[in-house]
Structure formats: structure tokens, C-alpha cells
Chains A and B, each alone.
Chain A
Amino acid sequence: MSLDYVKFSPGFDKFMPKEYRDMVEHGPFGKKTTVSQMGSFKEILEEHPMCAGCAMTLFIRLAMISFPNPEDTITVGTAGCGRLAISQAAVPFVYGNYGDQNAVASGLSRGLKLRFGDKPKDVVVMAGDGGMADIGFSMTLHSWFRKERFTTIMLDNEVYGNTGGQESGMTNKGQVLKMAPLGKKFEKMDMIGMAKLAGCAYVATVVPNNPRRVESVIKKAVLIAREIGPTYIQAYTSCNIEYSIPTDKVMEDAKSVETDRYAFSEHITDEAKEYLATRYGFKEYLPKPATAAALPKA
């Protein structure tokens, strides 16, 4: 894994598809690309079969643009809608069995640290709410309690989208779905609370109707996971099919859900703040200059 793995063997470039050549020559590898440059460079994400207008697709697209070092990143996923896109990108993708993703990522990130030492290799898990909070619940929680250093991102569409609308632990109480016709009987699980309890160094909730904020939380989470500890992002990524949201109203829905019950939140430990400030120059975490009132009186 390095910048070279995307390049062509000499003589083969003319046989490669245009999209691949564009990606090697004008992709984000070895450069800093940002959300504000979208539409002006070739992205690592390719075409994929996720539904038209799916907010999860938008989130995955934004996340991939925000990876601090795409050439040194491996994604881990599992059964569910997201893997249909995550696997169609120019970063290596590991497909765990349904629910295994945080166990696979634990071994992978430890192995990469043994093999590459201090050279950062980022492991990013992206999986659905069912895969993470139901089937993979124990493996998710245990990886956090063990302080495994990688990023976990829940693509929270509050339903089992890929299999046609069963309720998950992250579905809201009372929600009626195709395969939950009487409505869900229990509360939505507090995975944010559990992530904090388990000692994640950075925990955030985000909605993709604010691309720059998505960029900021992904960058922070991936960088903190390199050295400080596990990081968790929970993203509201509506399923317009199972929740019958007209595709041109997906961002309107995101906005109202953000206002009602999915407000942006960020929890970051002091150690992680100091690390981001000193190592990566994050201005927001530099110690504030003492204000006049705080200065001892002469």
C-alpha cells in the first residue's frame, strides 16, 4: 500500500478504462482535496448500484473525499446497502461477514501497525445500523473497550434497507415499516452514549446536509484514531425507499430530522484535542490566549 499501488505497470495504461486513467492522473492521491473542490477533480468513488437520491450514497461520497490520506486508507464494510458503493472505490475494501466488521478491522489495524510501524495506515469501518448496533453489537462495543485504533462510522438509515424494511435497534419507537407493521416497540439505542462510555476518543453525530461538517468530522475521527484511540461517527443517512421520501426531498428531510432529533454533536477528549492541535495544527484546539479578565491583577 502506497501511492504506487494505483499506478499502471509500464505499457498497460492504454488498456485501462478512461475512469481509471483519470483517477491516476487527476485523482486525490498524494494531494489534499477538499469538499469545496468537488466537481473539479476525479474522485476515488466510482459508479455503483445504490438507489437514486440515497442520502447514504451522498455521505459515502463526502466521506471518501474527506479521507486525509486516501492512498493509505483501507475501508471495512459488511452486508447492507453501503458496501455496494464503498466497494466501488479506488481504496482497498475488506468485506467482513455480516456484523464482523469491527473484529476484522481490529485485526487489520493491529497487523498494519506491526507491518508499517509509525507510518499511518488508516482503517475506516462503514456499516449500517443493523450491522453495527444489532448483529455486530458485541464486536463493535468490544473493539471500543479494547481501545482499538480505527474509525467506526455508522450509516444510520434507521432500518434494514438492503433486505426490505425490518426494524433495527436504531429505528425510532413507534415507527411502522414494511416488516414492522405494528410499529417498533422499543426506544432507539443510544450508541453515542455507549461509545462515550466505552472510551472512544472522538464521538460525533452528523447529517449529510452540511458537506463541510461531514468533511471536518471525518478528518478529525481518522486522524485521532491513528494514535489516540477509537473514534465513532454516527451519520443520519435516510433510506428514501423504506421511508418513502421523494428523492428531491431527501435534503429537506435531512434538514428537518437534524433540527428535530439528530443535532450535530461532538465529544472529544482533551488528549485528542491536544494531539490535533500540536500534530496537525487544528486552530480550534490550540490553547486560547488568556483573556484580560483571567489574568491575575497586577
Chain B
Amino acid sequence: MYLVADIDVDICAATSCKLCTQYCPEANTINYDDNAGKDKGHKYGSAYVAVDRCKGCAQCVWVCDNMAKHHAIKMTMIDQLPKAAITDRITYLDKGTKAIAAPVEVA
């Protein structure tokens, strides 16, 4: 098993500072869903991680903790995530993306 980044929607959608993706070394790994969290009454959308692309470096954790000071990202064992986004289930929209989080199968 291995670690991937996991973003707490409730914390992220309260501000949605969009800082972490600017520091993730991997392309299109932390994306934004402008509607995530709206169903829970949050004002903004949320960042999410396409776990199939995450290399587990935890740079985003450092950025969210120390630069954004929001503490929304935790490294989590991939088989402990009830649901996650993966590249195949991301739809790009004219502005932003939409992700379908579903259980991930780990071989």
C-alpha cells in the first residue's frame, strides 16, 4: 500500500484558496471542482486529488499547512480512502472540472 494526498472538502471549500495545485509537481493531479461542497452549503468549490497521478510527495500538505494555513490535506493510505477521484472520471468543463469520487480498486 502507499500514501496519497487526500483533501478535506469541508475545510477546503470554506476558503478554496487554490494554492496547492500551483505547487504540486505533477500536472492535473490537484484539480478544482467549483461545485464540490455546494451540496453541504459551502460557499466555494474544493480542490481534489486525482489519486492515480499522485506520487505521494506531500508537498501539497506543506503548502496547505504552512502557506495557506488551512490544514486541509492529509496523506492517507490509498486503500483507506472510501472514495477518490481518478483521471478517467474527471470531466473538464469550460471553467473548472467535475470529478466523480468513487471507491478505488487497488491491486
Contact = CB atoms under 8 A, between A and B. Distances in A.
Interface residues of A, number: 33
Given A42-B92, A55-B25, A57-B25, A248 B59 contact: yes
A252 B62 contact: yes
Nearest to B21: A39
B4 to A, nearest CB: 11
Contacts of B90: 22
Interface string B4-44: 00000000000000100111111110111000000000000
Nearest to B94: A26
Contact of B28 (A25, A42, A58, A252): A42
B30 A41 contact: no
A156 B97 CA distance: 34
B57 A52 contact: yes
A242 to B, nearest CB: 16
Contacts of A248: 57-59, 61-62
A104 B92 CA distance: 37
B86 to A, nearest CB: 11
Given A39-B32, A248-B61, A251-B63, A22 B92 contact: yes
Interface residues of B, number: 32
B72 to A, nearest CB: 14
A134 interface: no
B88 interface: yes
A220 interface: no
B22 A211 contact: yes
Contacts of A252: 62, 66
Interface residue SS majority, chain A: helix
B87 A18 contact: yes
Contacts of B87: 18-19
A61 interface: yes
B23 to A, nearest CB: 6
Contacts of B57: 52-53, 247-248, 250
Nearest to A248: B58
A277 interface: no
B69 interface: no
A50 B26 CA distance: 10
A40 B59 contact: no
B84 interface: no
Contacts of A25: 92
Contacts of B23: 58, 209, 211, 251
A187 to B, nearest CB: 30
Given A47-B26, A62-B22, 17 more contacts: A19-B87, A25-B92, A36-B18, A38-B21, A39-B32, A39-B47, A40-B31, A42-B92, A43-B28, A50-B25, A52-B25, A52-B57, A53-B59, A57-B25, A58-B23, A247-B57, A250-B59
Q: Give the 4 A-B CB pairs with smallest separation, nearest first.
A: A53-B57, A26-B92, A52-B55, A39-B21
Interface of B: 18, 21-28, 30-32, 47, 53, 55-59, 61-63, 66-67, 87-88, 90, 92-93, 95-97
